[in-house]
Amino acid sequence: MHDFQKLLVWQKSMDITEEVYRISAAFPETEKYGLTSQIRRSAISVPSNIAEGAGRNTDGEFRNFLGIASGSSNELFTQLILANRLGLTSKKTIDPILTKLIEVQKINFSLIKKFTK
């Protein structure tokens, strides 16, 4: 069992989630049940899966949830690019988030490798 709040990858992914919620608040009302909802779900999925995995009994289970978080981070990356392509947000707005997301992905991948037998 790991203390997820002390994990840098969890802390950084929480910061990203806050930023995603802020920028998606400016999306049009017509996207409320579309991209706004989806982008928020994928953003919160990253730290949520890290936290859930940290509370599991084995390193293998933790690694599995880190893998799910990795998939969610790729989903979020795609959705941020799509939001920009659709004109819902600017490249200037999403680029710093994408940079932070890449950092989270690298840290997460390192943790996955650490817990791989």
Look up the CATH number of the domain holding residue 20. Answer: 1.20.1440.60
Domain count, the chain: 1
pTM for this structure?
0.94
Report pLDDT digits (tens) over 63-114.
999 999 999 999 999 999 999 999 999 999 999 999 999 999 999 999 999 9
Dist CA 9 CA 48 (whole Å): 11
What is Dmax (Cα atoms) for the chain? 47
Report pLDDT digits (tens) over 48-62.
999 999 999 899 999
CB 46 within 8 A of CB 102: no
CB 14 within 8 A of CB 6: no
Range of the domain at 80: 4-114
- 3-state DSSP assignment of residue 113: helix
What radius of gyration, in Å, describes the C-alpha atoms of the chain? 15
